Amino acid sequence: MPNDLSLQAHWMPFTANRAFKAAPRLFVGAKDMHYVTDDGRKVLDGTSGLWCTNAGHCRAKIVEAVKKQAETMDYAPGFQMGHPGSFRVATRIANMLPGDLDHVFFCNSGSEAVDTALKIALAYHRVRGEGHRNVFVGRERGYHGVGFGGISVGGMPANRKMYGSMLPRVDHLPHTHNLKENAFSRGEPNWGAHLADELETRIIALHDASNIAAVIVEPMAGSAGVLIPPKGYLKRLREICDKHKLLLIFDEVITGFGRTGYAFGTETFDVIPDIITMAKGITNAMVPMGAVAVRKGIYDAVVNSAPPDTVELFHGYTYSGHPLATAAAEATLDVYEEENLFARARELAPYFEQAVHALREMPNVIDIRNIGLVAGIELEPKAGKPSERAFKTFLKCYEKGVLIRTTGDIIALSPPLIISKQQIDELVGVLGDALRESGRD
């Protein structure tokens, strides 16, 4: 660490600040599949940063696009003004999505995208004369960012327990993770589609469908530890929402832009929601950006309900559709297309699956699950010390030149889509060595 660098003023997010500052881990460079530490070591990125650098690091085309935009126009207001980039990116995203998901609202993060989606859902029902539809349904172990809306519909207790009152009318579906039935599944597990019926038999029965605005789920729950949806589960949610006229929101902040082998999880799982949230891979994390895509009927209902020449939706952000972000997004979408990275992820997925499932016999491994280029390796927690075993494995991997991610006692792998088979072997091999060593602790 540089001698003149003080770590004290920065309150770090989702980090054990005291422990980190006692033994910091600092990156100072990145390129393609690797980070560079402050002491000059290369670290293989097994997590795409935070699920976000899907095309690898510091890609020249994206860097140049942002540089050129910064030299041309640094900022343009998005309220009552515009710039061409935001319209081009919106059109390209709409063209990537199925059905009539053809209007896009920009924000700056996944958290903002979720809160935006919830507000759009409420506005849609209100302009249709159904303002009483104001109950949201999330899911246990769901992660939808850190805004008050997102932690309300989310289902991760640690993210909620300090903050008191949430949104007042929220209920939660059960999560779909069941080790007894689905341990060591490959792809979508066979057991669990019936859990979607809880929406109808319990939640709708309790609240009455006429009061429910929307159901929000991640197609694949990422931050909770790579929870793959059971076969038929998402289709059943869609059927129940259609039957009772509920909006279905897919949070694709992680699954968007190739992670599961297609542009979006809606394509992977063959289910079309009413609203999709996205962020992370939209700009390859070069510049913060989020977005919400909605079906044509939702946009038309909200926009056409207002008198001419008036604001239809009182919502937005100073940096919605920021010129640097849209420049990064355009170049990122070019890279995905030119290098056919989503198809590449599909082609690599079987090799990746075989590699990660080879860890089954490692000490303390109680489950491995995967889809596309993402995998979760679940460890048996130490008695009275939850998360310690996985975090020690994280530290060992870092020391050995590989970056993994942990949540509780689950290790998540989500490498950039440019990873090679040799690098998959390296990633899994180092993780295996770390698991062996951790097993002796």
- Secondary element (H or E) of residue 104: strand 101-107
Report in angstroms the alpha-carbon separations of 171 from 90, 197, 417: 32, 14, 36
Q: What are the boundaries of each domain within the chain? A: 17-55+340-439, 64-338
> Residue 441: what pLDDT?
65
**Spatial CA neighbour of 256 closest among 362, 372, 159:** 372
> Residue 39: what pLDDT?
96
pLDDT one-digit tens code per residue, 281-315: 999 999 999 999 999 999 999 999 999 999 999 99
Check: pTM over 0.85? Answer yes or no: yes
> Residue 164: what pLDDT?
87
Secondary structure (3-state) at 410: strand
DSSP 33-98: TEEEETTS-EEEESSHHHHT-TT-BS-HHHHHHHHHHHHH-S----SS---HHHHHHHHHHHHHSS
Determine the Cα–Cα distance for residues 25 and 240; give it in Å rounded to an integer. 47
> Residue 3: what pLDDT?
76
Q: Are β-strands 135-139 and 212-217 bridged in parallel, bridged antiparallel, or unpaired?
A: parallel
Q: Are β-strands 135-139 and 170-173 bridged in parallel, bridged antiparallel, or unpaired?
A: parallel
Q: Is the pLDDT of residue 165 over 90?
A: no
Q: Which residue has the tokens 């952000």?
A: 317
> Residue 1: what pLDDT?
74
pLDDT one-digit tens code per residue, 74-88: 999 999 999 999 999
What end-to-end distance do the CA atoms of the chain give, in Å?
28
> Residue 209: what pLDDT?
97
Q: Is the pLDDT of residue 170 over 80?
A: yes
Per-residue pLDDT averaged across 184-202, rounded?
Answer: 98
Q: Give the CATH number of domain 64-338.
A: 3.40.640.10
Determine the Cα–Cα distance for residues 37 and 162; give it in Å rounded to an integer. 34
Q: Buried b / exposed e across 166-196, counting CB within 10 Å, b at 16+?
A: ebeebbbbebbbeeeebeebeebbeebbebb
Give CA torsion, residues 296, 302, 304, 310, to 10 deg: -130
Secondary structure (3-state) at 294: strand
pLDDT one-digit tens code per residue, 110-158: 999 999 999 999 999 999 999 999 999 999 999 999 999 999 999 999 9
Q: Kindly state the percentage of the chain with pLDDT values over 90.
A: 98
pLDDT one-digit tens code per residue, 272-285: 999 999 999 999 99
Report in angstroms the alpha-carbon separations of 70 from 24, 57, 331: 32, 19, 14
> Residue 432: what pLDDT?
98
Q: Buried b / exposed e across 266-301, counting CB within 10 Å, b at 16+?
A: bbbbebbbbbbbbbbbbbbbbbbbbbbbbbeebbeb
pLDDT one-digit tens code per residue, 65-77: 999 999 999 999 9
Q: Is the pLDDT of residue 210 over 90?
A: yes
Q: Do 1 and 24 contact (CB within 8 A), yes or no? A: yes
pLDDT one-digit tens code per residue, 20-30: 999 999 999 99
> Residue 194: what pLDDT?
98
Average per-residue pLDDT for the chain: 97
Q: Is the pLDDT of residue 2 over 90?
A: no
Of 172-181, 337-346, 432-441, the poorest mean pLDDT is in: 432-441
Q: Give the CATH number of domain 17-55+340-439.
A: 3.90.1150.10
CA 82 to chain CA centroid, nearest Å: 28
Q: Is the pLDDT of residue 440 over 80?
A: no
